[in-house]
Structure 1
Amino acid sequence: MEYRVEMFWAGLILIAVLVIFTLGKSPIFRVDRAGAAIIGAVATIGTGVMSFEQATAAVDFKTIIILFSMMIIVANLKLAGFFEWVGEVVCRQVTSKRQLLFATIISSGIMSALAINDIICLLFTPVVLLVCRKVSCNPLPHLLGVAMASNIGSAATLLGNPQNILVGSLSGMPFVSYFSTACPVALIGLIAAYTAIACFYRQELEGRLSVSETSSVTIHMYLIIKSLIVFVLVVAAYMVGYDLALVSCLGGAALLITRRVKPNKVYSSVDFNLLIIFIGLFIIVAGVESSGLMTYVFSHMSLSGFNNMGLFAAVTLILSNIVSNVPAVLLMKFFIPLEHAEQWWKALALFSTLAGNLTISGSIANLIVVEIAKRDHIDVKAWDYFKVGFPLTLLTILLGVVWLSYVR
Structure 2
Amino acid sequence: MDLTIAIFLLVYVAMGFGHLPGFKVDRTGAAVVGAMLLIALGLITPAEAWAAIDYRTIGFLFGLMVISAAFVVAGFYDKVAQVIGGLKVSYPLLLAILIAVSAGLSALLTNDVVVVAMTPVLISIALARRLNPIPFLLAFCFAANVGSSATIIGGPQNMIAAEALHLSFIGFMKVAFVPSMLGLLIVWAVIVLFYRGKWTLPAASESGVASPVITFNRNATIKATVITIAVVAGLVLTDWPHMLVAMAGAAVLLVSRRIASTDMLGKVDGDLLLLLIGLFIVNAALAATGLPQELLTSLQAIGLDLHDPFSMLVVMSVLSNVVGNNPAVMLVSPFLTDVARPEALGAAIALGTGFSSNMLIFGSLAGIIVVEQGRTHGVTISFSEFSRAGVPTSILCLILAGLWILWL
TM-score interval for Structure 1 and Structure 2 normalised by the shorter chain = 0.7 to 0.9
Equivalent of residue 286 in structure 1, options 284, 287, 295: 284
Equivalent of residue 83 in structure 1, options 77, 80, 86: 77
Distance in 2 between the 1:347 and 1:248 partners? Answer: 25
Question: Sequence identity, in percent?
Answer: 28
Which residue of structure 2 aligns with residue 251 of structure 1?
249
Distance in 2 between the 1:153 and 1:285 partners? Answer: 28
The answer to whether the 8 A contact 1:356-1:363 is kept is yes
Q: Tell me, what secondary structure is at the counterpart of 1:269?
A: coil
Which residue of structure 1 aligns with residue 318 of structure 2?
318
What is the identity, as a one-letter code, of the residue corresponding to 1:190? L
C-alpha distance after superposition, 1:265-295 (max 9, x if no partner): 3344344333333333333333443433332
Tell me if 1:121 matches 2:141: no
State the 1:170 CA deviation: 7.3
Equivalent of residue 328 in structure 1, options 324, 328, 332: 332
Question: TM-score, length-normalised on structure 1?
Answer: 0.74
- When residues 373 and 271 of structure 1 are mapped into structure 2, their CA distance, relative to the original with a 3 A threshold, is farther
Distance in 2 between the 1:93 and 1:68 partners? Answer: 34
- When residues 56 and 356 of structure 1 are mapped into structure 2, their CA distance, relative to the original with a 3 A threshold, is farther
> Following superposition of structure 1 onto structure 2, how do residues 110-189 of structure 1 map, counting pairs within 5 Å?
110-113=104-107, 115=108, 119-123=110-114, 125-136=116-127, 141-156=135-150, 160=154, 182-189=176-183
- When residues 169 and 17 of structure 1 are mapped into structure 2, their CA distance, relative to the original with a 3 A threshold, is closer
Question: TM-score, length-normalised on structure 2?
Answer: 0.74
Distance in 2 between the 1:383 and 1:403 partners? Answer: 30
The answer to whether the 8 A contact 1:227-1:255 is kept is yes
Q: Tell me, what secondary structure is at the counterpart of 1:300?
A: helix
Equivalent of residue 298 in structure 1, options 285, 296, 299: 296
- When residues 367 and 237 of structure 1 are mapped into structure 2, their CA distance, relative to the original with a 3 A threshold, is farther
- When residues 49 and 138 of structure 1 are mapped into structure 2, their CA distance, relative to the original with a 3 A threshold, is farther
Tell me if 1:15 matches 2:13: yes
Which stretches in structure 2 are left out of the alignment for 5+ residues?
Answer: none
- When residues 80 and 161 of structure 1 are mapped into structure 2, their CA distance, relative to the original with a 3 A threshold, is closer
Distance in 2 between the 1:69 and 1:309 partners? Answer: 29
The answer to whether the 8 A contact 1:234-1:244 is kept is no
Which residue of structure 1 aligns with residue 31 of structure 2?
37
- When residues 101 and 291 of structure 1 are mapped into structure 2, their CA distance, relative to the original with a 3 A threshold, is farther
Distance in 1 between the 2:284 and 2:379 partners? Answer: 31
Tell me if 1:220 matches 2:212: no
Distance in 1 between the 2:82 and 2:195 partners? Answer: 24
Count residues in correspondence: 393
Which stretches in structure 1 are left out of the alignment for 5+ residues?
Answer: none
> Aligned-residue CA RMSD in angstroms?
4.4
96-105 vs 393-402, which moves further:
96-105
The answer to whether the 8 A contact 1:11-1:293 is kept is no
Q: Tell me, what secondary structure is at the counterpart of 1:238?
A: helix
- When residues 111 and 141 of structure 1 are mapped into structure 2, their CA distance, relative to the original with a 3 A threshold, is same
What is the identity, as a one-letter code, of the residue corresponding to 2:282? I
Which residue of structure 2 aligns with residue 233 of structure 1?
230
217-226 vs 347-356, which moves further:
347-356
